[in-house]
Amino acid sequence: MVLDSEQLRKKTDELNHKLSLLNKKQQKEVKQLESEHLPRLQKYEQQLETLGDRNSYSKTDTDATFMRMKEDHMKNGQLKPAYNVQISTENQIIVNFSMHQRPGDTATLIPHLEQFEAQQERQSKEVVADAGYGSEQNYEYAESNEIEAFIKYNFFHKEQKRKFKNDPFHPSNLFYNAEKDFIVCPMGQQMKCISVQKRKSELGYESQVKVYKAINCEGCPLRWGAIKAKTTDRLS
């Protein structure tokens, strides 16, 4: 059973009322609970509340989150307390800015657009952003709000490189038959869908992922290449 600070305080109050019935060792343990463990638990709960869904915060500015700066003069990847500021423009005029506690840009797009709509009482018909904002959640939001999104997906630039294009084992380079819903591996074997899984992102967005499996990979001459490419007989 896990107690929070309020439950622990009530328990220590109950024990204090029965203090005369306890022996010296038990009385000492009750006092230790009240003077040491209870304040420590209360402090821990307060820190968790301040942290929220972040992974860090600054003690000198609890609203700030530790982020990796682009201007790294020491070249050591030092983290500093900061905010992620987003600015949007229309015809080269700033129309909205917002401040966020998350270091990544992906999670800032939707709240930024919602803030713009709340202030201007209208929504942009088109949104242009770089690959840092590309995610299934953002694409779905744009489509459901009738926004034409010109946003690159995360792997766009990697897919332009020769190394990526010449990798026969990368899932993106495998042939997919949409009509019959199967993938073809480099050896020509069909990989059929065996399950549909639900996955929840760090932001709480739930998506469906299909899992494909080859019938048999034993004795395949390309099996070692698939293992080197961190590809197994299953793809998702």
pLDDT at 227 over 60: no
Domain identity same for 126 and 181: no
- Greater pLDDT, 139 or 166: 139
DSSP structural state of residue 215: S
Which amino acid does the sequence have at 40? Answer: R
Give the strand pairing for 206-214 and 234-235. Answer: antiparallel
Does 101 reside within a domain? yes
Does 58 reside within a domain? no
Domain identity same for 145 and 187: no
Does 71 reside within a domain? no
pLDDT at 204 over 50: yes
Domain boundary, last residue among 115, 131, 154: 154
Domain boundary, last residue among 121, 154, 187: 154
pLDDT at 144 over 50: yes
Does 199 reside within a domain? yes
Domain identity same for 226 and 187: yes
CA–CA distance, 52 with 64 (Å, rounded to integer): 12
Q: pTM of the full predicted structure?
A: 0.71
> Can you give the residue range of the structural domain that contains 117?
83-154
Does 63 reside within a domain? no
CA–CA distance, 111 with 98 (Å, rounded to integer): 8
Domain identity same for 131 and 178: no
Domain identity same for 173 and 216: yes
Task: Give strand ranges (E) for 64-216.
Answer: 65-68, 79-82, 84-90, 93-100, 126-129, 148-151, 175-177, 182-184, 190-200, 206-214
Which segments of the chain does DSSP mark as H helices, in order?
A: 5-17, 24-32, 38-51, 109-120, 136-144, 156-159, 162-165, 223-228
Domain identity same for 176 and 119: no
Q: Position of tokens 């380079």?
A: 173
Which pLDDT score is estimated for 215? 78
Domain identity same for 228 and 182: yes
CA–CA distance, 102 with 123 (Å, rounded to integer): 23
Tokens of 85: 């500021």
Does 133 reside within a domain? yes
CA–CA distance, 51 with 206 (Å, rounded to integer): 23
pLDDT at 141 over 50: yes
Q: Position of tokens 């026969």?
A: 168
Mean pLDDT of all residues belonging to the chain:
85
Domain boundary, last residue among 96, 124, 154: 154
* pLDDT tens digits, one per residue of 64-123: 999 988 777 666 778 889 999 999 999 999 999 999 999 889 999 999 999 999 999 999
Mean pLDDT value across residues 169-192: 86
Which pLDDT score is estimated for 229? 47
* pLDDT tens digits, one per residue of 20-53: 777 888 878 888 888 888 889 899 999 999 988 8
CA 191 centroid distance within chain: 29
Which pLDDT score is estimated for 38? 86
Tokens of 53: 């869904």
Domain identity same for 91 and 140: yes
Domain identity same for 89 and 121: yes
Q: What is the domain count for the chain? A: 3
Domain identity same for 204 and 230: yes
What percent of the chain stands above pLDDT 90? Answer: 38
Tokens of 186: 């480099």
Which pLDDT score is estimated for 28? 84
Does 67 reside within a domain? no
Which pLDDT score is estimated for 123? 94
Domain identity same for 91 and 123: yes
Phi/psi for 110 (5° steps) reads -65, -50
Does 219 reside within a domain? yes
